[in-house]
A and B are shown apart, each in its own frame.
Chain A
Amino acid sequence: MIKSKLPKAFLLCVFTLSIFIVPSLFAAGTQEDSSGNPYAGKELSILVSAGWMDSRYDETIARFEETYNVSVDLQTVPADQYGDILQTRLLTGECADVFWIQSNPFAIESVIVDYEDFCIDFSGSAWESVVPEARLLSCKVGDSLYGLQLWHNSPEYVMVYNKSMFTEMGLEIPTTYAELKDVSAALYAQGITPWFIPGADGWQHQLAFFQIGGIYEANHPGLYEGLNNNTATFKDNQTMLKVLSQMKELSDLGYLGEDWIGSNSTNMANMFGDRKIAMAMANSSYIQQIKDETGTTDEFGLFLLPLADNSFFPTNPAGPTMFGFKGTENEDLVRLFFDFVCETESLQEILDNSPAYTNIHVNDDAVQQHWLAEEKAFVDSITPDQMVTPVLQTGTKYTNDYWMDFGADMMSYFIGRIDANDVLGRMDANRAKSAKIAQDPAW
């Protein structure tokens, strides 16, 4: 009986295999030939931190997939884990075809480090002319082009506030820390969270410290140069200590939210719309996002963060930047993708699908920008002197690399585990480590 069944079983196996294998062989052999498309069937993987692409690239990616008959595997990682995962994957040679970093003029050397081993050299690519000169500083090392930075040019992480609520309560825009505290007290008394900081995001609460680099430089002239030459430290810097203590005071008073350390930014726009919060650090274009997402009729405005009585604008020609992984088997596809996203149609799509951004900073006059009246008015009110100093994290070497560590140390300070000067001292120690690894002669 068994013997008689064997040929049938064998035939069944062959038949089944032929169903699956033969067509796939046929397809693989003919897909490329019939269309003449050398990319057909390939997959492009992209590793990115949450918030850097969101859904803004979806339409462009879909068009890219359709145009070249390829698939794109978008690997979005939570922001607080991204740095660790990226480094691990780079070092193990298991990185995605395209990866992102938060770049600045020092970041390629200090974050990617072995950029010649890890990054595709795009020098001579046509898309270089699309990126403004100021942003190319974050994309190049010497004359070699590695990164593509498509970012907006709106005021970044200034104070967004509910103007209608302020007007109704007779509150003025605070220009000093004392005024900020008074305004916060008035709002808090009404059951409103005065200044919401989403601490659980892990990367937002540091902004209040770093975005006001101008006041540190103004109070301690030559500080940036000193930090870059290892002749100055974060530790014992009186203005920095003051900023940390002021933030802690606001936290202890409950002005940052009842559980701001455990809250993330997922619901922030709704909280603005519901009038549960009055102020938050955000991009100017976030105003439009609040209106679009919540349908509120409230008016919103912008002002400079007045910690340590700061009056400086957070100038920051840096941003999330994408790189091609040199170890990829699809370098031609990576190059094609970079060319594709720099086409006018793609740039317009990316901007139009970015509810949080009103413009895209590119050298392409054909792209239609959507500047808000509020942000235009705000930028017009800033004098050139207020814009001269870049933010601390990108104006000084090795600082931005420890953004998350500094954030964790700030939290330790806010919950009373360490002193403010320990937070600053740890930043010095970390920067020294990076400098040593980079064999920086100043250290």
Chain B
Amino acid sequence: MNKRTVYPVWFVILPLVFYVVFFLMPSIMGIFYSFTDWNVRNRGDLSFVGFQNYIDIFTSEENYASGIYNTLKFTIVSNIVKLIPALFLAMLLQRGLRGKNVYRTILYLPAILPFLIIGLIFKSVLNYQDGILNVGLELVHLGFLKQKWLSDPEVVWKTIYMVDAWRGIGYVMTIFLAGLNAIPDSFYEASEIDGANFFHKFIHITLPMLSGTIMINLVFGITYGLKVFDIIYVLTNGGPGRTTEVLTTYVYKLYSSGQYGMAVALNTILFVITMAAGVLIVRGMSRKEVEL
């Protein structure tokens, strides 16, 4: 018979107090402030302005709406460019590949570097005139592939995705590896006896058995994508022009220019989007669990 230990309810009081004081209350106060004209001048004397900050966000000449669009775009694309290669790399490195542990380490290493360092390194590497990438392309007679990596509006997003993937693939791959290791070999062996090829095994065994892992990576990826700031701030600071501005860079700029009410309103929009994404993911996961 299993012996169950029952802990008293008051054990949760301390974490609950921390949660309420340091998360719930600031969040609710933030939403309240988004309906005021709070700025650097009137810190102690706020006026209620209704939805004016939200109206300004969608009608302002500043085009904050493009920041919302860019945030969503980054969230979707950055996940695609990380998840798919990471899955195939994980499958490759899970097999009996020689030196696979070395490859795993190498692929994971960028994930431990701070974005600030990565941004500064890549800013140098991607310099059009004398960056290593363009100079290297010239050296191997591939000069036609040279790009204005960080200053051409048609290229700059691709560059950001590339740098982001370079850093993030190893991390995603590690989670996939854990998921792959949990799939019993007997499933594959049985399917091989039935004549299944690689494609069949991938579709009918690997993917379904990895659905939980994929969902975990999606949750991490989506929350990361919606909150993205540092990589963009360091690499482009929202430029060229406003091409790569995202919600968080706008929030930061509004806050630092003393427009707190607007900054909080924009942050509230980000909060709503993140919450909506969270609800959708949780529902998706619950449904999947029921199916399984």
Contacts and interface: CB of A to CB of B under 8 A. Distances in A.
Interface of A: 80-81, 83-88, 91, 113-114, 199-200, 202, 258-259, 261-263, 267, 401, 408-415, 417-418, 422, 425-426, 429, 433, 437-439
Interface string B33-64: 00000011110000000000000000011100
Contacts of B40: 87, 91, 113-114, 437
A200 B150 CA distance: 9
Contacts of B241: 408-415, 417-418
Contacts of A261: 148, 151, 239-240
Interface string B242-254: 1100000000110
Nearest to B253: A84
B58 to A, nearest CB: 15
B170 to A, nearest CB: 28
Interface stretch (B16-24, B87-95, B197-205, B255-263): B255-263
Contact of B151 (A259, A429, A438): A259
A188 to B, nearest CB: 17
Interface residues on B, range: 20 to 34
A180 to B, nearest CB: 24
A267 B128 CA distance: 13
Given A259-B151, A422-B61, A437-B40, A417 B243 contact: yes
Contact of A411 (B39, B129, B240): B240
B238 interface: yes
B129 to A, nearest CB: 6
B237 interface: yes
Contact of B153 (A84, A86, A259, A417): A417
B41 A426 contact: no
Which of A113, A261, A267 counts the most B-chain CB atoms under 10 A from its CB? A261
A426 B62 contact: yes
Contacts of B233: 81
A262 B238 contact: no
A87 B256 contact: yes
A426 B60 CA distance: 9
B151 A262 contact: yes
B213 interface: no
A418 B245 CA distance: 15
Nearest to B237: A80
B129 A429 contact: no
A425 B61 contact: yes
> Nearest 4 pairs between A and B by C-beta?
A262-B151, A412-B241, A84-B256, A411-B241
A401 B150 CA distance: 26
B63 to A, nearest CB: 8
Contacts of A114: 40-41
Nearest to A263: B129
Contacts of B256: 83-88
B242 A259 contact: no
20 contacts: A83-B257, A88-B256, A91-B258, A113-B41, A114-B41, A200-B150, A259-B151, A262-B128, A262-B150, A262-B152, A267-B129, A411-B241, A412-B241, A413-B241, A415-B153, A415-B240, A417-B242, A417-B243, A418-B241, A429-B62
A429 B253 contact: no
Given A113-B258, A429-B60, A429-B62, A200 B151 contact: yes
A46 B243 CA distance: 33
Interface string B88-130: 0000000000000000000000000000000000000001111
A259 B129 contact: yes
A83 B258 CA distance: 11
A438 B259 CA distance: 12
Nearest to A426: B61
B269 to A, nearest CB: 19
Given A261-B148, A411-B239, 15 more contacts: A81-B237, A87-B258, A199-B240, A200-B151, A202-B237, A258-B129, A259-B151, A267-B129, A267-B130, A414-B241, A417-B153, A425-B61, A437-B41, A437-B42, A438-B41
Contacts of B239: 202, 261, 408, 411
B78 to A, nearest CB: 22
Contact of A433 (B148, B255, B259): B259
Nearest to A112: B40
B62 A262 contact: no
Given A411-B240, A415-B243, A258 B128 contact: yes
Contact of B41 (A88, A259, A418, A439): A439
Contacts of B60: 429
Nearest to B130: A267
Contacts of B128: 258-259, 262-263
B61 A429 contact: yes
B252 A84 contact: yes
A262 B242 contact: no
B255 A437 contact: no
A114 B151 CA distance: 37
Contacts of A199: 151, 240
Contacts of A87: 40, 255-258
A107 to B, nearest CB: 14
Contacts of A88: 255-256
Contacts of B39: 437
A87 B41 CA distance: 13
B127 A262 contact: yes
Nearest to B40: A113
Nearest to B43: A114
Contact of B148 (A86, A262, A412, A426): A262
Which of A84, A199, A267 counts the most B-chain CB atoms under 10 A from its CB? A84
A82 to B, nearest CB: 10
Which of A200, A263, A401, A409 counts the most B-chain CB atoms under 10 A from its CB? A200
B122 to A, nearest CB: 13
Contacts of A258: 128-129
A261 B237 CA distance: 13
A75 to B, nearest CB: 15
